[in-house]
Structure 1
Amino acid sequence: MTKRHISLPLAAEEGVRAFIDEVDERLSGEEDTCDVVQDVLVDLYGDREAYERWQAGEDVSNAERVRLQGYDPCNSTLESEYYAEKDEEKFKRSKHLQWLWRQFDATPMADNVEFALRFRQMLADHLFEEAGENLRLFKGITMTYGHNIRVGDNTVVHDDVHLDDRGELTIGNRVSISDGVHLYSHDHDIVDQTAVKNFHTVVEDDARVTYDAMVRAGCRVGENSVVGARSVVQGDVPAHHVAVGTPAKSVKIKPGWEDEAEPLEAGGENRQAEREIPYDLPEGVDVFDEFGRDFESSN
């Protein structure tokens, strides 16, 4: 899509740059990440006065206390925190960064596109396994961990996209991920829902995954391909193919690429097994079935 360059007024630009640089420097330094996140959120939400009163031991209401405690990611839990196989060491830091990302997106500043894109780029540089240059990461993006995501240069991820990196997720250069897309890297057993397998899911360079589509775990969306709106990708999409439907099927080859592309019949191949990421649960982890089911007694 053709875009035009837009600049903030000078005073606004100076403020944005100073704030982002300050947070970036603090996250890169020796300070505890949890402390940095808490401090930044207190100021973003304009709660410094109440926070200082609370820290000084003055009385605050129960509602104020819960709100002020909530700026500290160590006082919160995320859904992925309950996943038994997660890497505890990586999650210690990624949880704090993800908390800052999510809470920033709940502020009015998240709608200031110029500010928000640059702030999220800075956070991605700290959170993702690899974050390319000139990323455009829009509002409402959620992720499982963040630390298993690799993204190339000049990629755009639009509003309300879910990046599931319970396994691994690789997104190439110049990729377009439209609003409401879900990219998955884990799958559940059809009988025992608690049995989870993790996979490496790949979206290659110049691919487009359009509105509200879903890419299932372990699939590869090939270079320069297109996944149609609201499609469900359950197998590989070859390079230069256009795949649509549920399940997604290759229906055409992009004009001009006919000589390089595989035939349409090659689309939809399930190669999930090749991309499985085995794991072992940590010793002594206390597990539970959130549905309270007992499969042994039901057989």
Structure 2
Amino acid sequence: MTKRHVSLPAAAADGVDRFIESVDERLSGPEDTCEVVTDVLVDLFGDREAYEAWQAGEDVSPATRVRLQGYDPCNTTLESEYYAEKDEDRFEESKHLQWLWRQFDATPMADNVAFALQFRQMLANHLFDECGDNCRFFKGITFTYGHNISVGDNVVVHDDVHLDDRGKLTVGDRVSISDGVHIYSHDHDLVDQTHVDNYHTIVDDDARVTYDAMVRAGCRVGENAVVGARAMVQGDVPAHHIVVGTPAKSVKIKPGWEETAESIDDGRLTHRQSEREIHHEIDNEVEIFDEFQRTLSPPDAPPTTPEAAQDADTPPTSE
């Protein structure tokens, strides 16, 4: 056993429980989510007096006004808000919840582990498509949307992890994701960077993805497998295998599982991304623009349209 039980003093624990329960009830009730998030953030940042003065029409400095407006997620934008293929209806609420998650992490309370883990578990229950029990989400975790993520029981996600759910991300029971990990569910085309393909990425039960590793979109990390530090997974990791390197290769099977695990030649991982592609359509009313305006054809070659570039036999790249 590597951990010991630690608890807050009774009075502090009671305060934490009351606060989290009150936010949970409000998010579950009929109140507008945007208003709930605004109200909670105003109090978390200790800005109630200034906020009410501003709401009452009193003069505030331009900087103060921007700060107070920023508690309301309706006055903000996130990077994922610009993605043309996003589900507008689902994103409307998940944006507000994601803003509360991100801004909570900017408060001093985010470093109070006993409080912060309970608060993020409660938020995950509302934000994710599914979230199991007894999960531990540490500081600095980011998502694309949040609503395309499913997480099992007893999952731990450490500091500064990015869980990309532009496609779909499924994480099984008892999974451990270490600091700095990036798990993707979308890829960009090599020729036309503006073309994006979305995939279903899976991390199965009891798997471990360790420090600073990257899992490419559409890959599967098998049950009880281990992805070594700073490895780059670009294929499916078989159950019980340990993979390391760039690109990641299997170097051994976890001791005791040799008779159970499948064998693979040369440690090379099988690429099954195409089997997990998620097809999407963009609403015709969405105005799409190309922020790069790059030339897609080499000099003296016939002009290449974005559509032709998308059909080229070139592998996509993770962002």
TM over 0.5: yes
Moved more, 42-51 or 264-273: 264-273
Aligned to 2:277: 276
Shift of 1:214: 0.1
Instruction: State the one-letter code of the partner of 1:84.
Output: A
1:233 to 2:233 alignment? yes
Instruction: State the one-letter code of the partner of 1:289.
Output: D
What percent of counterpart residues are identical? 76
User: Residues 192-214 of structure 1, C-alpha deviation per residue, up to 9 Å, x if partnerless?
Assistant: 00010000000000000000000
CA distance in 2, matches of 1:289, 1:124: 33
RMSD: 1.2
TM-score (norm: length of structure 1): 0.98
Aligned to 2:81: 81
Q: How does 1:74-153 map to 2 (within 5 A)?
A: 74-153=74-153
Aligned to 1:181: 181
Instruction: State the one-letter code of the partner of 1:283.
Output: N
- Contact preservation (8 Å) 2:191, 2:296: no
CA distance in 2, matches of 1:267, 1:61: 60
CA distance in 2, matches of 1:94, 1:270: 32
Shift of 1:297: 10
- Contact preservation (8 Å) 2:200, 2:278: yes
- Contact preservation (8 Å) 1:144, 1:165: yes
CA distance in 2, matches of 1:285, 1:294: 24
Q: How does 1:1-299 map to 2 (within 5 A)?
A: 2-265=2-265, 267-293=268-294, 295=296, 299=303
Aligned to 2:311: none
Instruction: State the one-letter code of the partner of 1:83.
Output: Y
User: Residues 126-166 of structure 1, C-alpha deviation per residue, up to 9 Å, x if partnerless?
Assistant: 00000000000000000000000000000100000000000
Instruction: State the one-letter code of the partner of 1:250.
Output: S
Give SS of 1:187's match: strand
- Contact preservation (8 Å) 2:145, 2:166: yes
- Contact preservation (8 Å) 1:162, 1:180: yes
CA distance in 1, matches of 2:120, 2:79: 21
Shift of 1:292: 3.0
- Contact preservation (8 Å) 1:240, 1:261: yes
CA distance in 2, matches of 1:240, 1:167: 26
* 1:247 to 1:11, Cα distance in 2 relative to 1, 3 A: same
Moved more, 271-280 or 261-270: 261-270
CA distance in 1, matches of 2:8, 2:53: 35
Gaps of 5+ in 2: 304-319
Shift of 1:267: 4.6
Shift of 1:264: 3.2
Instruction: State the one-letter code of the partner of 1:46.
Output: G
Give SS of 2:205's match: coil
TM-score (norm: length of structure 2): 0.92
Gaps of 5+ in 1: none
